[in-house]
């Protein structure tokens, strides 16, 4: 692998027993890698970190160049004249201009613009006696040459004119360089020892020099030779911030054994500071990736990897936070290479891929390339195995809430926490609910602030204002209700006291974060109480306003009247507190198919003589309950008899279809006959 200790520093790796690759592999290579022609004497392979593309260059390009990327649907293929060995080859962002370095003095360019001639043009470096170490495209038309004497920032003014303009240059002795395309920052290693790093930031034609900083070497160097290798440095974005990661093979403190990764935070403004130390507790050959804001450290000797999360709590010593790995070391999940060839041949079983191979090369943030096998993979984190490897549910939630694809795993953890055999205590459940609702509240507040600014018409003055992104860490009430709580109550596995305590704990947590509780959660509490005949508890919850007033809740109480008579009055009291209009209450009840409850309510307030018969008959018919329909139909016949002396419906009531339906189901003889006095 690409990063290793100098030979004299190398110590034996961890024991082979540490591999434990049988179960719980939380890292995997992507299922659909980029497959390219293997590196061989005729075919040279290059990787462009900005476009994440692999170039396979055959015979200097004369017999073909094939460019493939993870996102690219169609590979780019072309030929170019063999003008000597290719040292570096990259497309501009958008694949419009190709840059090729063949000598130490200049870079050749080739336009890939439709309907324009593919003529090469060349740019020499401006600094005399300087050698070009490499180049980086920072946009579709801007390119930086890095030489051993500084950097030169160019713009391809008009590609069709085939000319470059020098925008800015800076003289500085350079040992090696590194580029982070996600942040548009180039890092230069300077001074004899190489441990003074000078960053430059590029944006739309401008080049800014950031504060230089010094990497603390493990011990005073024995001689004045280059002591900091680019193999031990990585540049990556973690949680939206740029960090320089330094792989220090020996700790500065003599009592500590094993290597460590030191993180330097590199802000756009201000000085670079050492902020985190990741303890590896082992020595040997290492390689670094960053996946889903996690620092992944691969260890070649034991063929395992570990992950670190700098957002998780560590040990703070006043200036830096020291972190241990989050999970026990595990191998990357075994990977099978499919056998290529005709269908008749591909029936052969796939070949296992050699993981942690010495021919692997890693690139930031999450790329692993095997040039000898011709594969480029994304490294991925699998969250499901993490659940069983991190028993502390609070820490598990802190970890999961920071991950991109976390929602379904978090909901599964919540379900598991409420079920046997891994049922958690109420205090653990409360901690998990609070962590989820803390994230939920943050999102609601951000959404509210955004809405207020937009409504106030300030969005034009604040162009930077963006609508808050709803990440998968936002687990709202409908998610919890649908995937966890309703399923949990239906299973009826747990004692009812525990079930009610869990529901009330979730409501308590919502209230603590001042999140309005949705009525369906209260309904779930009421239904659970009713199922277990805990009417005294229901009465207390309502009396002391543990369950907040709402129209749907009042309707649910009305429907409980037949099994708990006081529910009728409790419901009416609630509706009065809500100052609800009577006809609105009827509408709500009918929409919930509580036709008899609606009728009882309207009779209770004395409005049954003026209500629409058709509305009630429609609702009764929709309920598909013949006896309910009969009861409602008979009620209105009796009303007609009492008010008009005839049970029949008048044409203005538009009930003809209901009369026809009644006759079909119960026969014409069931219709009420007019009563004569």
Helix %, strand %, coil % of the chain (to 5): 30, 25, 45
Q: What is the pLDDT of residue 252?
A: 55
Q: What is the pLDDT of residue 279?
A: 92
For tokens 């649910």, name the residue: 556
Give 82's pLDDT tier (boundaries 50, 70, 90): confident
In this structure, how many other beta carbons lie within 10 angstroms of the beta carbon of residue 495? 10
Q: What is the pLDDT of residue 347?
A: 57
In this structure, how many other beta carbons lie within 10 angstroms of the beta carbon of residue 268? 13
Average pLDDT, integer, range 237-258:
80
Q: Give the span between the Cα atoms of 30 and 379, in whole angstroms.
A: 6
Q: What is the pLDDT of residue 515?
A: 92
Q: What is the pLDDT of residues 372-422, one digit of tens each?
A: 888 899 999 999 999 989 889 999 999 999 999 999 999 999 998 898 777
Is the pLDDT at 20 greater than 50? The verdict is: no
Query: Higher-confidence residue: 310 or 568?
Result: 310
Record the tokens describing residue 578, joined without a space: 């809500």
Q: What is the pLDDT of residue 460?
A: 56
Q: What is the pLDDT of residue 442?
A: 93
Query: Higher-confidence residue: 32 or 338?
Result: 32
Q: What is the pLDDT of residue 9?
A: 34
Give 222's pLDDT tier (boundaries 50, 70, 90): low
pTM attached to this predicted model: 0.79
Return the percentage of the chain with pLDDT > 70, whole number.
90
Q: What is the pLDDT of residue 327?
A: 92
Instruction: Out of 61-65, 74-78, 282-286, 516-520, pick the least confident.
Output: 61-65
Average pLDDT, integer, range 430-446:
93
Q: What is the pLDDT of residues 611-660, one digit of tens each?
A: 888 999 999 999 888 999 999 999 999 999 988 889 999 988 889 999 99
Q: Round the CA-based radius of gyration of the chain to a whole number and report it.
A: 36
Is the pLDDT at 340 greater than 90? The verdict is: no
Task: Kindly report the average pLDDT of the chain as a whole number.
Answer: 85
Q: What DSSP state is assigned to residue 485? A: I
Is residue 337 within 8 A of residue 373, CB to CB? The reply is yes
Q: What is the pLDDT of residue 243?
A: 95
Q: What is the pLDDT of residue 531?
A: 84
Is residue 633 within 8 A of residue 649, CB to CB? The reply is no
Q: Give the span between the Cα atoms of 477 and 433, in whole angstroms.
A: 11
Record the tokens describing residue 661, joined without a space: 């339906």
- Residue 544, C-beta contacts closer than 8 angstroms, at least 6 positions apart: none
Average pLDDT, integer, range 126-148:
91
Instruction: Out of 238-247, 449-458, 503-512, pick the least confident.
Output: 449-458
Q: Give the span between the Cα atoms of 623 and 398, in whole angstroms.
A: 47
Q: What is the pLDDT of residue 468?
A: 84
Domain range annotation of the chain: 593-676
Instruction: Out of 170-184, 547-561, 574-588, 609-623, pick the least confident.
Output: 574-588
Instruction: Name which of 82, 81, 85, 56 is nearest 68 in CA terms.
Output: 56
Q: What is the pLDDT of residue 350?
A: 75
Is the pLDDT at 6 greater than 60? The verdict is: no
Instruction: Return left, alpha or beta for 644; rule: phi > 0 is left, psi -120 to 50 is alpha, else beta.
Output: alpha
Q: Specify burial of residue 646 (Cβ count, 10 A radius: 0-12, 13-18, 19+).
A: middle
Is the pLDDT at 223 greater than 60? The verdict is: yes
Q: What is the pLDDT of residues 303-314, one digit of tens each?
A: 999 999 999 998
Q: Give the span between the Cα atoms of 50 and 179, in whole angstroms.
A: 9
- State how far Cα 599 lies from the chain centre: 50
Instruction: Out of 94-103, 291-300, 538-547, pick the least confident.
Output: 538-547
Q: Which helix (H) or strand (E) holds 108?
A: strand 106-111
Is the pLDDT at 234 greater than 70? The verdict is: yes
Query: Higher-confidence residue: 494 or 286?
Result: 286
Instruction: Name which of 578, 560, 579 is nearest 569 in CA terms.
Output: 560
Q: What is the pLDDT of residues 540-552, one digit of tens each?
A: 888 787 888 877 7
Q: Give the span between the Cα atoms of 166 and 653, in whole angstroms.
A: 86
Instruction: Out of 4-8, 438-442, 445-449, 617-621, pick the least confident.
Output: 4-8
The helices-and-strands tally (H runs, E runs) of the chain is 16, 33
Q: What is the pLDDT of residues 457-509, one digit of tens each?
A: 755 555 567 788 888 889 999 999 999 999 988 887 778 888 889 999 999 99
For tokens 């100052």, name the residue: 579
Give 22's pLDDT tier (boundaries 50, 70, 90): very low
- State how far Cα 26 lies from the chain centre: 16
Q: What's the 3-state SS for 454-468?
A: HHCCCCCCCCCCCCC
Regarding beta strands 367-370 and 360-363, do their DSSP bridges make them parallel or antiparallel, or are they unpaired?
antiparallel
Give 152's pLDDT tier (boundaries 50, 70, 90): very high
Give 176's pLDDT tier (boundaries 50, 70, 90): very high
Query: Higher-confidence residue: 183 or 161?
Result: 183
Q: What is the pLDDT of residue 381?
A: 94
Q: What is the pLDDT of residue 386?
A: 92
């Amino acid at each position: 692998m690409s990063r290793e200790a100098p030979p004299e520093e190398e110590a034996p790796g961890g024991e082979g027993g540490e591999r434990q690759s049988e179960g719980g592999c939380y890292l995997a290579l992507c299922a659909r890698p980029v497959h390219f022609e293997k590196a061989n004497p005729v075919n040279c392979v290059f990787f462009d970190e900005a476009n994440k593309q692999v170039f396979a260059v055959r015979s200097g390009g004369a017999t073909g160049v094939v460019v493939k990327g993870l996102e690219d649907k169609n590979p780019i293929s072309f030929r170019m004249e063999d003008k000597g060995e290719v040292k570096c080859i990259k497309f501009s962002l958008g694949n419009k201009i190709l840059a090729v370095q063949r000598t130490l003095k200049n870079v050749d360019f080739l336009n890939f613009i439709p309907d324009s001639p593919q003529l090469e043009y060349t740019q020499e470096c401006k600094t005399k006696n300087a050698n070009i170490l490499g180049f980086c495209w920072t946009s579709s038309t801007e390119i930086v040459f890095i030489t051993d004497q500084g950097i030169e920032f160019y713009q391809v003014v008009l590609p069709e004119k085939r000319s470059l303009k020098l925008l800015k240059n800076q003289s500085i002795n350079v040992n090696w360089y590194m580029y982070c395309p996600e942040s548009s920052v180039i890092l230069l290693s300077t001074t004899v020892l190489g441990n003074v790093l000078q960053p430059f930031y590029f944006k739309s034609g401008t080049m800014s020099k950031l504060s230089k900083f010094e990497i603390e070497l493990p011990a005073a160097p024995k001689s004045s030779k280059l002591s900091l290798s680019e193999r031990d440095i990585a540049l990556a974005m973690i949680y939206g911030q740029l960090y320089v990661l330094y792989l220090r093979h020996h700790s500065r403190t003599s009592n500590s054994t094993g290597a460590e990764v030191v993180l330097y935070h590199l802000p756009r403004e201000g000085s670079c500071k050492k902020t985190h130390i990741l303890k590896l507790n082992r020595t040997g050959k290492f390689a670094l990736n960053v996946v889903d804001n996690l620092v992944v450290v691969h260890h070649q000797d034991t063929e395992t990897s570990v992950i670190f999360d700098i957002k998780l709590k560590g040990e703070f010593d006043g200036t830096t936070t020291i972190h241990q790995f989050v999970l026990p070391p595990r191998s990357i999940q075994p990977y099978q290479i499919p056998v290529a060839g005709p269908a008749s041949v591909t029936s052969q079983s796939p070949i296992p891929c050699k993981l942690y191979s010495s021919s692997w090369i890693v690139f930031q943030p999450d790329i692993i390339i095997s040039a000898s096998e011709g594969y480029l993979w994304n490294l991925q984190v699998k969250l499901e195995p993490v659940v069983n490897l991190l028993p502390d549910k609070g820490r598990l939630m802190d970890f999961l809430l920071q991950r991109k694809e976390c929602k379904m795993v978090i909901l599964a953890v919540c379900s598991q926490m409420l079920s046997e055999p891994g049922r958690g205590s109420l205090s653990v459940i409360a901690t998990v609910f609070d962590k989820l609702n803390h994230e939920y509240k943050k999102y609601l507040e951000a959404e509210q602030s955004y809405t207020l600014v937009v409504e106030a018409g300030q969005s034009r003055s604040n162009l930077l204002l963006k609508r808050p992104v709803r990440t998968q860490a936002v687990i709202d009430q409908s998610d919890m209700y649908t995937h966890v709580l309703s399923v949990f109550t239906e299973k009826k596995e747990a004692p009812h006291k525990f079930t009610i305590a869990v529901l009330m704990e979730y409501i308590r947590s919502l209230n603590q974060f001042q999140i309005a509780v949705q009525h369906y959660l209260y309904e779930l509490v009421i239904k659970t109480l009713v199922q277990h005949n805990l009417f005294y508890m229901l009465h207390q919850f309502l009396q002391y306003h543990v369950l907040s007033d709402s129209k749907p809740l009042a309707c649910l109480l009305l429907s409980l009247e037949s099994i708990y008579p006081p529910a009728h009055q409790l419901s009416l009291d609630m509706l009065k507190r809500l100052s609800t209009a009577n006809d609105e209450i009827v509408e709500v009840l009918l929409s919930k198919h509580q036709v008899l409850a609606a009728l009882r309510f309207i009779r209770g307030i004395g409005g049954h003589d003026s209500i629409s018969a058709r509305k009630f008959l429609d609702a009764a018919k929709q309920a598909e309950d013949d006896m309910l329909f009969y009861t409602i139909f008979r009620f209105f016949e009796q009303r007609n008899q009492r008010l008009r002396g005839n049970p029949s419906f008048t044409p203005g009531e538009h009930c003809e279809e209901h009369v026809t339906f009644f006759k079909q189901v119960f026969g014409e003889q069931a219709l009420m006959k007019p009563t004569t006095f």
